[in-house]
Amino acid sequence: MPPHPSPTATPQPGPHADHSGGVEAGSRGAKKRFLHDAREYVRDTDHRAFLRRALAGYYTTRDGQKARYRDWEQARDAANLAKWNAVNRLDEMLVRFADAFEAGGGKVHWARDAAEAREIILGIVRAAGAKAIIKSKCMTTEEIHLNAALEAEGYGVVESDLGEFIQQLRGEPPFHFVFPCMHVRRGEISKLFEEHLGSAPTESPEELTMIARRYMRRLYVEADVGITGANFLVAETGQISITENEGNARLTAALPRVHVALAGIEKCVERLDDLAVLLPMLATAGTGQPLTCYNTLYGGPRVSGECDGPQEMHIVLLDNGRTAILADPEQRDSLQCIRCGACLNVCPIFKNVGGFTYGTTYQGPIGSVITPHLRGLGDWNHLSQASSLCGACTDACPVRIDIHHHLLHNRRNAVRAAPNRLERMGHRMFAAVAARPRLFATGGTLFRRSLWFLKKLRLPLLRDWIASRDLPQAPARSFRDQWRHRAPPAVARSRPATTGSDR
Ligand code: SF4
């Protein structure tokens, strides 16, 4: 048995339960679960208010930081260009990165899908004779359900990021891909620590942090393998860039004998200089910081003369559907995402349904764009309907991804892939009526007069929609009627000609 079994989770009840469903499960019935959980979450007004309060300070701090840029829009252009350049030449960038990384003594592994990535990482862990594993926050490991695969083989895995650690103890996936436990109150964290770590009750954030820190310290030293993600892969230098606020990723990468980093292939940038714009943009847009506290570059294992660092360093480059997005010229730019989380923070749907409702690794607007590519349009196309198309996400995106139009593209693709006969018939009927002015006018009059009756009838199609909304009162006269009987336009009275002497 490993000396540090994964902390035992406390199962959470209700709609906030884990929907990952374990390894590669959870797609079937995703829409039904989404609708059920959204309904439950929307009813939980306390939780929604808590979430709103948690995000309330975000706008002020972010806007304060944005104001420090000479030209925020120009910085967005530069960030967009840096990512677009790399995404459009990804084949070349990845080979350059892999060659440079291996020249530094690291080993590159290519994984076509989640199963391959899990197998590669399990192989590295087995070869290292590992007993204990420490991890820093990495959404790509969530995407491939790595913890479940490691635990199934008897390895203990401990999350070292405080938010992820809390979620691990709660038995939940991250609620938000930047703020994993933003939905948890301090009192709940205190109780969780009392139960699992035997600490005294406290609601002080500093004390809670110190409790987790004391628990974690020994684990860093005793872990054989450290697993991290990577925010950027620099093709020019063969380095990976990790940005974080707690310093836990540094310890995870530096103290264990073996360091494994897992990254999606889209994380590539061409030049080290690109980070000069991307790192501050990531911090400002995501958390309202000028720069994240710790920004580190790793270029390979420890070399002779260095006093710390792993003896082996591996990077696993994951495709898992990303090349399909790359092949789609319409949605290719969604690979530019730097996972700052800004689109979630401003999304009215996210604020009302919460992160778990999506049932995906990547929540919110960008999750709704890419999940159908990563896990199948057939089962996940409902996510593109989870948007008011207000465009707040597109406005907030530091790398200028046209998020809300991509949601529209997904809606169109879903209709093309599985046309709804009823909907198509409805559109045809409307087109036939709209092309005949008299019929259109008669239909309008009939509809106006029968609106009160439709409300009473509560047709299945309208029932959900009007359950929480009032239908507007029908006007006494239609617009066409009012237009026909409008007062004649006032004739402008001609002014007498003026001359200079009139002054
Ligand atoms: S889509 Fe844009 S705003 Fe959303 S997480 Fe990605 S980079 Fe941030």
Question: Cβ of 21: how many Cβ atoms within 10 Å?
Answer: 16
338 lines ligand 1 (CB under 6 A): yes
Atom of ligand 1 nearest to the CA of 393: 3
**pLDDT reported for residue 188:** 97
Phi, psi (rounded to 5 degrees) for 272: -60, -35
Phi, psi (rounded to 5 degrees) for 418: -140, 80
**Whose CA is closest to 162, among 210, 114, 91, 121?**
210
Cα of 339 vs centre of ligand 1, distance in Å, is 5
396 lines ligand 1 (CB under 6 A): yes
C-alpha to C-alpha distances, 449 to 259, 432, 474, 478, nearest whole angstrom = 71, 21, 8, 11
Using CA atoms, how far apart are residues 259 and 261, in angstroms rounded to an integer? Answer: 7
Using CA atoms, how far apart are residues 287 and 264, in angstroms rounded to an integer? Answer: 22
Are 386 and 399 in contact, with CB atoms under 8 Å apart? no
Residues 6 or more apart from 199 whose CB is under 8 A from it? 190, 193, 211
Residues 6 or more apart from 95 whose CB is under 8 A from it? none
Residue type, 351: K
**pLDDT reported for residue 11:** 47
pLDDT tens, residue order, the chain (503 aa)? 344 556 666 545 444 334 343 334 457 789 999 999 999 998 899 989 999 888 888 999 999 999 999 999 999 999 999 999 999 999 999 999 999 999 999 999 999 999 999 999 999 999 999 999 999 999 999 999 999 999 999 999 999 999 999 999 999 999 999 999 999 999 999 999 999 999 999 999 999 999 999 999 999 999 999 999 999 999 999 999 999 999 999 999 999 999 999 999 999 999 999 999 999 999 999 999 999 999 999 999 999 999 889 999 999 999 999 999 999 999 999 999 999 999 999 999 999 999 999 999 999 999 999 999 888 888 999 999 999 999 999 999 999 999 999 999 999 999 998 888 888 899 999 999 999 999 999 988 888 888 777 777 766 667 777 777 777 788 888 888 888 888 777 665 555 544 444 44
**Whose CA is closest to 354, among 386, 313, 394?**
386
**Whose CA is closest to 254, among 220, 205, 215, 213?**
220
86 lines ligand 1 (CB under 6 A): no
First to last CA, the chain: 101
Q: Whose CA is nearest to atom 6 of ligand 1?
A: 337
Are 451 and 478 in contact, with CB atoms under 8 Å apart? no
401 lines ligand 1 (CB under 6 A): yes
Cα of 453 vs centre of ligand 1, distance in Å, is 45
Cα of 365 vs centre of ligand 1, distance in Å, is 8
Coarse DSSP helix, strand, coil percentages of the chain, rounded to the nearest 5 percent: 55, 10, 35
Cα of 338 vs centre of ligand 1, distance in Å, is 6
**Cα-to-chain-centroid distance, residue 18:** 16
Using CA atoms, how far apart are residues 136 and 298, in angstroms rounded to an integer? Answer: 15
407 lines ligand 1 (CB under 6 A): no
Q: Whose CA is nearest to atom 4 of ligand 1?
A: 343
Using CA atoms, how far apart are residues 192 and 175, in angstroms rounded to an integer? Answer: 17
Atom of ligand 1 nearest to the CA of 344: 4
Q: DSSP E strands: which ranges in 284-369?
A: 294-298, 312-318
Q: How many CA atoms lie within 13 A of 458 on its CB side?
A: 8
**Whose CA is closest to 177, among 252, 287, 267, 99?**
287
Are 407 and 397 in contact, with CB atoms under 8 Å apart? no
Residue corresponding to tokens 């969530």:
142
Cα of 247 vs centre of ligand 1, distance in Å, is 23
Radius of gyration of the chain, Cα coordinates, nearest whole angstrom: 27
Domain boundaries, the chain: 14-325, 430-480
Q: pTM of the entire structure?
A: 0.86
C-alpha to C-alpha distances, 48 to 181, 215, 263, 348, 391, nearest whole angstrom = 14, 32, 33, 11, 21
Report the CATH architecture of 14-325: 3-Layer(aba) Sandwich (3.40)
342 lines ligand 1 (CB under 6 A): yes
Q: Whose CA is nearest to atom 3 of ligand 1?
A: 397
